[in-house]
């Protein structure tokens, strides 16, 4: 999916997070059943918002992404057996 999305996007896609072992997943507060632990998920580095963010989201959907998560500065895509679903990450609280 990643290579197909990169070709559709037409630019490089930098991976912020890919496969995670259960220990690392727990350290960062990942979901207990995270697709990252099965190697079926990617969190790309945010492409800068606006039109670039739209282009990246469109590219991943056109490449077959099933799972999609989005936050202020975070994107997640996966092709996991959990199927089609979407969610929003809560905004981070600033002290």
The yes/no answer on whether domain 2-88 falls in CATH 3.30.1380.10 is: yes
Could you list the mean pLDDT of each consecutive 10-residue stretch along the chain, which spans 95 residues? 97 96 95 97 94 97 98 95 94 55
The pLDDT score that the predictor gives to residue 94 is 42
Query: What is the rounded CA–CA span in Å between residue 78 and residue 67?
Result: 5
The pLDDT score that the predictor gives to residue 93 is 42
The pLDDT score that the predictor gives to residue 90 is 87
86 with 75: CB under 8 angstroms?
no
Query: What is the rounded CA–CA span in Å between residue 48 and residue 31?
Result: 26
Task: List the domain boundaries for the chain.
Answer: 2-88
Query: What is the rounded CA–CA span in Å between residue 43 and residue 67?
Result: 11
pTM: 0.91
């Amino acid at each position: 999916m990643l290579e197909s999305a990169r070709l559709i996007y037409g630019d490089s896609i930098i991976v912020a997070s890919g496969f995670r072992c259960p220990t690392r997943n727990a350290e960062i507060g990942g979901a207990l059943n995270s697709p990252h632990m099965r190697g079926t998920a990617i969190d790309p580095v945010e492409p800068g918002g606006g039109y670039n963010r739209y282009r990246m989201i469109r590219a991943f959907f056109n490449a077959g992404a099933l799972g999609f998560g989005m936050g202020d500065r975070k994107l997640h895509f996966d092709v996991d057996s959990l199927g089609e679903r979407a969610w929003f990450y809560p905004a981070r609280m600033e002290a």
